[in-house]
Amino acid sequence: MTSTDVKSAVRADSGLLDVRGVQKTYYGSGRTVEAVRDLTFSVGTGELACIVGPSGAGKTTLLKCIAGLLPPTGGEVRLGGARVQGPPPGMAVVFQEYGRSLFPWMTVADNIALPLKQKRTPKPRRAALVAEALESVGLRDVPHAYPWQLSGGMQQRVAIARAIAYEPDVLLMDEPFAAVDAQTRAELEDLTRSLWRNLGMTVLFVTHDIDEAVYLGQRVLVLSGSPTVVMEDVAVDLPAEREQLSTRALPRFAELRAHVYEQVQRAKTFHTAPAAGASA
Amino acid sequence: MTSTDVKSAVRADSGLLDVRGVQKTYYGSGRTVEAVRDLTFSVGTGELACIVGPSGAGKTTLLKCIAGLLPPTGGEVRLGGARVQGPPPGMAVVFQEYGRSLFPWMTVADNIALPLKQKRTPKPRRAALVAEALESVGLRDVPHAYPWQLSGGMQQRVAIARAIAYEPDVLLMDEPFAAVDAQTRAELEDLTRSLWRNLGMTVLFVTHDIDEAVYLGQRVLVLSGSPTVVMEDVAVDLPAEREQLSTRALPRFAELRAHVYEQVQRAKTFHTAPAAGASA
Amino acid sequence: MTLQPRRAGPPPAPHPRSRTRTGALPEPLLGLLGLVLLAGVLEVLPRTGVVSADYLPPFSEIADALVGVAGEESFWQALLDTAEGWGYGLAIAVGVGTGLGLLIGSVEVLRRATASTIEFLRPIPSVALVPLAVLVYGTGLESTLLLVVYAAVWPVLLQMLAGVRDVDPVARDTAASYRFTRWARLRHVTWPTALPYLMTGVRLSASVALILAISSQLIIGSPGIGKEIALAQSSNAVEEMYALVIVTGALGVCVNVAARALERRVLAWHTSVRTEAVT
Amino acid sequence: MLKAGARAFLHLFGLPAALLALWWFFAARSDSFYYPTLNEILSAFGETWFSSRIVDDVLPSLWRLAVGYLGAVVLGVTLGVLLGSHRQLRALLEPVLEFFRAIPPPVLIPVLMLFSGIGDSMKITVIIVGSVWPVMLNTVEGVRAIDDVLADTARCYGITGAARLRRLVLPAASPQIVAGMRQALSISIILMVISEMFASSSGLGFAIVQFQRSFAIPEMWSGILLLGLLGFALSLLFGLLESRVLHWHRGLRQSQKGEK
Amino acid sequence: ACGSDSGGGGKSGSGKADITLGVIPIIDIAPIKLGVKKGFFAEQNLNVKLQESQGGAAIVPAVVSGDYQFGYSNIVSLLVAKSKGVPVKMVSVGARASDDELDDGSGQLMTSSSSINTVADLAGKKIAVNTLKGINEVAVRTSLEKSGVPGDDVSLVEVPIPNMPAALKSGDVDAAMMGEPFVTVAEKQGAHPVPVSYAAMGKQMPFAGWFVAERYAADNPEVVKRFTTALEKSLRYAEEHPDEARATLDSYLKLDEGVSAAVTLPGWDPTTSRDEIENLAKLTVDAGLIDDLKPLDALLDQ
Ligand SMILES: Nc1ncnc2c1ncn2[C@@H]1O[C@H](COP(=O)(O)OP(=O)(O)OP(=O)(O)O)[C@@H](O)[C@H]1O
Ligand SMILES: Nc1ncnc2c1ncn2[C@@H]1O[C@H](COP(=O)(O)OP(=O)(O)OP(=O)(O)O)[C@@H](O)[C@H]1O
Ligand SMILES: [Mg+2]
Ligand SMILES: [Mg+2]
């Protein structure tokens, strides 16, 4: 299949993501880890799904398989009907290792502009997108700094800015707000939702913060501990208009939150041999 | 002053930490940032103080100055009466960039054991400490893996395990739980408190999670946005015995939480020209 | 650094270069000092009879000869000839080595398929190829170039191969996920990662190329410093020979100064440069 | 399994075989005295090297090579670590070292002869002096590029002195050091040859030069062939060492590729 | 590259021909320099360019490939080359040994050791020669055999001539086979000659010659003829005017003050007789460098 074929197929139904029986085992020097055992779910075009699960469950692995960066050992990922075999067009990823995903040899602005250049975004539009993205993550002042001159949280926000400036059809985010302060986090959450609603992207959002998952998502997928399966798929039936204080104050929010929390707690001991039970 | 002098001085009052008028400006290629303007506070021996503040406020910078890794541009840090000019003995640091702070050429167990070897901990004791520390962060199964074979959260927990196995007098932690899931986070919080109480360490804990700061600390220092000053020093008058559910359910907890939240919100716009320091 | 704690207020504006410890010389001066010390050693060794002044004359005499040599027009012509063979050779070697390195390094199949051949060809000394070079290209510049390029291409190529391998997987994934074209990946990810390696490769190559340019003049007799050295040698003009050797060494020092300056510009972002820059 | 083996074989010998075939083709139709046919070279190879020369020439050469190479590695790493970690020292010594680096061995050898005579020690010195540079430069750069967070971590935990060297500096710089050692390997072989051109009465380089001087061209080519084979064999050995020392780096760099 | 006409390297005929000579920068080639200066080559309509190389490694292939038209080499090397089938032939004698086996400027064994005075004293000693398997080795072995010492009872090592005085002084070698100006240099440093020299192989024995590629000789007999004529004239002139020859030395060597007046010059009688050269060839056979005299015929024939 040529790349134009893929492209047009994706355009047709560019966001429909289908994860079918994905299985991933890492074979390393003497260490074999079955990170993901059997994951099957799908995310419709324009949906915003959050993924929670214990540390080491395989969330990052799953995201990489979806992004076409890692070939699954079994099963397949389909995006817009086509099988994902390499990074599909129109997809942006915010990596958990944000620090290493920024190019240290480029300034912040260049880091954000480069993917746009790759997309052949015209120059004036590019400059506007970069400035806008930086503005929206609260980094208006640093376009000419290098990533290593920034604090952890600022680096992470640069990575986010790069992804949103790209205006992707599908956005994968791996714990994107882990290093920012509470208030910035809230702002970024709202930013994510508004971008999602305005641009109609499909968003897959990995987080450890259960409140965040419930607040952001239309659905929350709860993964079990490693080897990973989908433990539960919680539909978040909160109103579409969300607001930090009022939404979080809703009784339904508290219910959902409690439910997901319970599930996550169960997730760690989901498999008969509860390997990772911290004992302290 | 010889290193034995420092050592004995530290032993005398090993935890008393005195930050006096610390100022730090980064002079970089064309970019000069006044990260910390004037910080003065002290943390008594055996105290547990949390530090919160907006992203980019200079928390990491402050921690590095305290650890003796970065010479302040102005002011000084004193530990146990002696001026800090290099990393003092008996101090452990968990870096925000946990991934880069693990030695990729060593297994997880070796990473934890190495500082102990440097302290001349006898071998059997060392093995016990390593096993115990791994157990307590929920990583019993991975001593022979390399750091890069682990997930982000697992790597962070290895860095934590290394610090606690070291049994330091002073423990500096820079957003140490940012990459772990909610339940593990709660467990690690309790672990930190129990270690602190049992070993009598002085702990300085940087976090973005205001709940966490209030739950953990005896004090919460709220830093302003860059250039940084101490905005408020909140004493946490919660009972010493804390428990995840009941303590967080206390009305006083909610009050403190709300207060700190408000302060942090104010912190971002504390300076009249909020971005003045960061501009080139 | 002052001992007094500072109060709030305007920043104390220490000089950005304040990191050089008190009492220490600025770096170019230090380097000069090193060279002066070397000259001192060269002066003292023969004077104290550790080596015979007949074979290693004191530095002052070499310097005298150097002044004499510098007065001759033929010397400058020779220097020019050497610089020509060296410059062209180095440029070709760096170009070819970099290109091949990027190509071979980023295509796994090529890397595997060429490894054995590269390892086979590398240890073949250029001097052994003299007859071949002369036979094919005569005794002119081309022969020198062939020998220079043959020897100087390997350091660049090998450094490039090592550098291309060192790409951070997260950076690579980032580029892949944004669907960078092959060219963009090369240009924006592989190239900057390999650049520090390449810098070392170029520095290695520069001296290898100089050495070969001079050696091949020495052996083949094409015009240049090497030929002058050979002539001085066969006339037992010891001082003059060392004077020419010193010129050779000085060329090497110049290259390094240039390379370091370039490095400070193009690698300002790299850990090695930025952690040594002012903090 | 077998398929993988066959592919490895093809990778190892495919290109060399093609090149040999090319040589065969061109040499067969050239009448030049200096390009003997492959037949002649191969038969000269057998006659020349499967004889007492193995003991008389090859073994002494290998011995000098081994001592010289190891000497260069030890010296290069030592100097490199020193210069890499002390900026002032580097500023002081770099020009001097660069000065010596630029002097051609054929010019340097007579000077070395003044100090170390004309025996094996001179040849070993030449090998060391010539091949120390790639190791040294790479070590300097490797040491300078140590991750700052990692260096801070070591400082905090009191990992200083010898432990710092062993646990932080050398491993962190090892990818670069190994790259330098790989360079130095072939340079050592070349310098072994060059040093044996002076004041020698045995050795691989000596033999090759003699062949060249006495116009035994097929024999000379067979010597060059032997040098190439030697380089290739040593690089295979080196690869084993490399995969041991740098297996973490391989793993780290490939970790994202998943399998393998 | 020099000369304007297209005959560079020259077709036969009497037109102007550009020729390049591959030489070694030693005193032996003074006559050529002198001859060029005197215009003997211009008389023959030859435009001569001299290219200095360190030795046969570059000269022989350059002559074979036609980059140089004529080359200078010692005859033993030419015999060896011929025995291996290198397509060259010798056109003229280049230099001869002197008459005094204790004073040969081109090849004289020098020693600093007071215990070495006769050839027999050399038994078991270490001797430096410029190139093994070359004329010096033949000279040393021949002298030893003549004195009843087995020819292989010395160990020979290669040392470049400029480094020989140092090697002698440091005791790295016991004796060294060197040429001028180093004989004079070593003498000044207290070394003395031992009767092992080119002259000891045969007084006035030709030891070096000029050669061409066979193909070139066949294609350009005329140029070769003119070259040998001019060469002969130059050699004779130098032989007859040693002072002028000495003066020439300073024009291409960088000798110390007074050295050019003190060095021993080789003989330059150009008469090429097969018998004289055959002597050297026989010695070469005896030393084991070639198997028989066939190369000699090939070298001189046609
Ligand atoms: N490169 C690798 N080589 C070997 N094992 C790996 C590799 N990467 C991940 N793993 C293993 O796969 C499992 C899942 O890792 P993954 O990074 O997907 O977890 P995660 O859900 O993202 O965890 P976290 O929330 O801590 O980031 C872990 O047990 C980890 O040790
Ligand atoms: N190496 C550096 N060079 C130049 N500027 C730096 C450097 N490190 C930090 N800064 C600047 O100093 C300021 C404070 O950074 P610091 O890392 O201390 O913040 P932080 O409070 O830890 O933030 P975060 O919560 O995001 O980690 C930031 O504006 C940052 O850009
Ligand atoms: Mg992860
Ligand atoms: Mg920080």
Ligand 1 atom with the shortest distance to the CA of D256: 1
D182-209 mean pLDDT: 82
Point out the domain boundary residue: A132, A167, A202: A167
pLDDT at C141: 80
Chain-chain contact of B275 with A184 (C-beta, under 8 angstroms):
no
- For residue C170, give the chain B residue with the closest CA: B148
- Inside any domain, residue C23: no
Instruction: Write the CATH number for A205.
Output: 3.40.50.300
Per the structure, how many domains does chain D have?
Answer: 1
Gap from CA of A153 to ligand 4 centroid (Å): 7
The answer to which of A47-61, B9-23, B180-194, E126-140 has the lowest mean pLDDT is B9-23
Chain-chain contact of B75 with C6 (C-beta, under 8 angstroms):
yes
* pLDDT greater than 80 at residue B23: yes
* pLDDT greater than 90 at residue B112: yes
* pLDDT greater than 60 at residue C105: yes
Q: How far is E80 from chain D (nearest CA, A)?
A: 6
Of residues A159 and E19, the one with the higher pLDDT is A159
Instruction: Write the CATH number for C96.
Output: 1.10.3720.10
pLDDT at D30: 65
The residue type found at B8 is S
Together in a domain, B173 and B146: no
User: Which bin fits C109, alpha (ψ -120 to 50), beta or left (φ > 0)?
Assistant: alpha
Whether residue E181 contacts residue E264, with contact meaning beta carbons closer than 8 Å, is answered with no
* pLDDT greater than 60 at residue A6: no
Per the structure, how many domains does chain B have?
Answer: 2
Is B56 close to ligand 2, i.e. is its CB under 6 Å away? yes
Point out the domain boundary residue: B132, B167, B202: B167
A31-55 mean pLDDT: 89
- Inside any domain, residue B255: yes
Together in a domain, A271 and A136: no
A47-72 mean pLDDT: 91
Which 3 state secondary structure label does DSSP give A107?
A: coil
Interface test mutation site (partner B, options D149, D156, D242, D253, max chain B beta carbons within 10 A) = D156
Per the structure, how many domains does chain C have?
Answer: 1
Phi/psi of residue B164, each to 5°? -80, -30
Together in a domain, B120 and B72: no
Chain A residues inside the 8 Å CB shell of D256: 64, 69-70
DSSP secondary structure letter of residue E123: T
Chain A residues inside the 8 Å CB shell of D259: 26-27, 71, 73
In this predicted model, what pLDDT tens digit does every residue of A75-110 receive, in sequence order?
A: 999 988 889 888 988 899 999 988 889 999 999 999
Instruction: Write the CATH number for D133.
Output: 1.10.3720.10
Predicted TM-score (pTM) of this structure: 0.86
Mutate to test the pocket of ligand 2, among B29, B36, B61 (most ligand atoms within 8 A of CB): B61
Q: How far is C71 from chain D (nearest CA, A)?
A: 22
Q: Using CB atoms, which residue from D33, D114, D199 is nearest to E64?
A: D33
Together in a domain, B201 and B103: no
- Inside any domain, residue D57: yes
Gap from CA of A215 to ligand 4 centroid (Å): 26
Quote the domain boundaries for residue D164: 37-259
Together in a domain, A14 and A141: no
* pLDDT greater than 60 at residue A4: no
- As beta bridge partners, residue B91 has B170
Is A60 close to ligand 1, i.e. is its CB under 6 Å away? yes
Report which of C223, C230, C255, C253 is spatially closest to residue C84, judged by C-alpha positions.
C223
Gap from CA of A158 to ligand 4 centroid (Å): 14
The answer to which of A101-105, B78-82, C76-80, D23-27 has the lowest mean pLDDT is D23-27
Is B274 close to ligand 2, i.e. is its CB under 6 Å away? no
Together in a domain, B43 and B118: no
Model confidence band, residue A16 (pLDDT cutoffs 50, 70, 90): confident
Chain A residues inside the 8 Å CB shell of D260: 27
Please give the mean pLDDT across all residues of chain C.
81
- Inside any domain, residue C16: no
In this predicted model, what pLDDT tens digit does every residue of C238-257 receive, in sequence order?
A: 888 888 888 888 888 888 88
- Inside any domain, residue B132: yes
Together in a domain, A36 and A82: yes
Quote the domain boundaries for residue C267: 57-278
Model confidence band, residue D2 (pLDDT cutoffs 50, 70, 90): low
- Inside any domain, residue B272: yes
Q: How far is D258 from chain A (nearest CA, A)?
A: 6
- Inside any domain, residue C158: yes
- What are the start-end ranges of the H helices in C20-125? 27-47, 59-70, 73-106, 108-121
- Inside any domain, residue A188: no
Chain-chain contact of D193 with C128 (C-beta, under 8 angstroms):
yes
- Inside any domain, residue B185: no
Together in a domain, B61 and B200: yes
- Inside any domain, residue C37: no
In this predicted model, what pLDDT tens digit does every residue of C84-100 receive, in sequence order?
A: 888 999 999 999 999 99
Together in a domain, B60 and B173: yes
* pLDDT greater than 80 at residue A280: no
- Inside any domain, residue A142: yes
Q: Which two tokens stand for residue C142?
A: 């081309």
- Inside any domain, residue B187: no
Q: How far is A119 from chain C (nearest CA, A)?
A: 8
In this predicted model, what pLDDT tens digit does every residue of C123-161 receive, in sequence order?
A: 888 877 777 777 777 777 888 888 889 989 999 999 999
Distances, alpha carbon A229 to alpha carbons A225, A234, B115, C55, in Å: 8, 14, 38, 81
- Inside any domain, residue D20: no
- Inside any domain, residue D13: no
In this predicted model, what pLDDT tens digit does every residue of C10-38 receive, in sequence order?
A: 333 444 444 444 445 677 788 888 889 98
- CA dist A247 and A251 (Å) reads 9
Quote the domain boundaries for residue B125: 98-167
CA torsion through residues B105, B110, B112, B118, sign: negative
Is B58 close to ligand 2, i.e. is its CB under 6 Å away? yes
The answer to which of A135-144, A246-255, B47-56, E281-290 has the lowest mean pLDDT is E281-290
Minimum CA distance residue for ligand 1 atom 31: B150
Together in a domain, A245 and A121: no
Together in a domain, B123 and B236: no
Query: How many Cβ atoms sit within 10 Å of the Cβ of residue B247?
Result: 15
* pLDDT greater than 60 at residue D260: no
DSSP notation for C84-104: HHHHHHHHHHHHHHHHHHHHH
Strands (E), chain E: 17-23, 46-52, 70-74, 88-96, 108-111, 126-129, 155-158, 175-178, 192-197, 206-213
Ligand 2 atom with the shortest distance to the CA of A153: 26
- On whether ipTM exceeds 0.90, the answer is no
Chain-chain contact of C5 with B74 (C-beta, under 8 angstroms):
yes
pLDDT at B92: 92
Tens digit of each residue's pLDDT, chain E (302 residues): 333 333 444 444 567 888 888 888 788 888 888 888 888 888 888 888 888 877 766 788 888 888 888 888 888 888 888 888 888 888 888 788 887 777 777 788 888 877 888 877 878 888 888 877 778 888 888 888 887 777 777 888 888 888 888 888 778 888 888 888 888 888 887 888 888 888 877 778 888 888 888 888 888 888 888 888 888 888 888 888 888 888 888 887 777 777 777 777 888 877 777 777 787 888 888 777 788 877 777 777 75
pLDDT at A35: 87
The answer to which of A235-249, B105-119, D243-257, E28-42 has the lowest mean pLDDT is D243-257
* CA atoms within 13 A of residue B90's CA, in its CB half-sphere: 23
Q: Using CB atoms, which residue from C55, C230, C236 is nearest to E54?
A: C230
Please give the mean pLDDT across all residues of chain E.
79
Which 3 state secondary structure label does DSSP give A109?
A: helix
Chain-chain contact of A114 with C168 (C-beta, under 8 angstroms):
no
D175-201 mean pLDDT: 85
Chain-chain contact of E84 with D110 (C-beta, under 8 angstroms):
no
Together in a domain, A1 and A86: yes
- Inside any domain, residue C52: no
